Amino acid sequence: MRLKFIKPMEPELVDTPPQGDEWIHEIKFDGYRTQVIKDDDGIRLITKNGYDWTGRYIQLAGEAAAIEAKDFIIDGEAITINEAGLSDFHALQSAVTSRNPSRDLYLVAFDLLHLNGHDLRDMPVEDRRDILQALIPTGGRIQFSEAMPGTGDAVYHLVDKAGLEGMVSKRKDSTYRSGPTMNWRKIKCYAEKEMDIIGVQREAGKPAMVLMADKGRYAGGAFVTFKAHKRQALWDRVQGKVGGPVPIGLAKAKAEWLKPGLVGRVRFLKGEEKLRHAKLLDFRDRQ
């Protein structure tokens, strides 16, 4: 029997962890969502969009083959670990695109959709995870994603302090349904960083934004929420720098582009390709 790829269930992004005892909370790892399928044809590792990446994850495929079951579909996240012991998305990107697959690939397994001829998706996630935990050998590159003890708020506090990307909360009785769902929720942590302010967008009826570049690369926009006095000081500073080059690929953006020299401190969601939920905290002239 050949098992088909199942489109993943996706947590909705929310601002705060859910309250109450009916939730389990896990660390959100910064990696590539991956489905591990074992059937009569062997092992396949599939990306969240349905692409077969078994060749890039050859070590993980070897470990998956050793899991004692006739067939299964495991849902998880492929990650690499940096020196601090945290999942590192950029290292993962280079690991899967290089000709020599990295030795530092791991799979954090958090759900089990199928086992030994049985579709488990109608079981509560808590029960699916119990079966999964018993299935995975300890000490290997495929590891079970442990639930964190404590309330949602307490787990978020720990995750934030540890410098992690965020957490995922799942309703204990939730069945597995492909696509976005509020039965699973992701709550991300924020980071702060100084970047170059390369443009501003000020349109009537829309919130003002500054456009940022990080090490010469366009990073996205951050909202300006300053009080009137500080906002005016920013616009005064901007006025003297209007007339900068238009960044490649951004000619259609309705913006005033600035000459170099203005730096902004930005708060933004971790683990995103571009700035998301970003806010300008402060600004200064480059020294």
Per domain, the residue ranges of the chain are 9-188, 190-285
CATH number of 190-285: 2.40.50.140
Residue 248: its pLDDT value, please?
Answer: 83
Q: Average pLDDT in the 7-25 region?
A: 96
User: Is 9-188 CATH 3.30.70.20?
Assistant: no
- Render pLDDT for 137-191 as a digit per residue (tens, 0 to 9): 998 999 999 999 999 999 999 999 888 889 999 999 999 999 999 999 999 999 9
Residue 91: its pLDDT value, please?
Answer: 64
Would the CATH topology of 9-188 be identical to that of 190-285? no
- Residues 6 or more apart in contact with residue 247 via CB below 8 angstroms: 198, 199, 213, 218, 257
Residue with tokens 């079970």: 144
pLDDT-based confidence at residue 272 (cuts at 50, 70, 90)? confident
- Render pLDDT for 55-105 as a digit per residue (tens, 0 to 9): 999 999 999 999 999 999 999 999 987 665 666 666 666 666 665 555 678
Residue 96: its pLDDT value, please?
Answer: 66
pTM exceeding 0.85: no
What is the percent of the chain where pLDDT is above 70? 92
pLDDT at 273 over 90: no
pLDDT-based confidence at residue 238 (cuts at 50, 70, 90)? very high
pLDDT at 135 over 70: yes
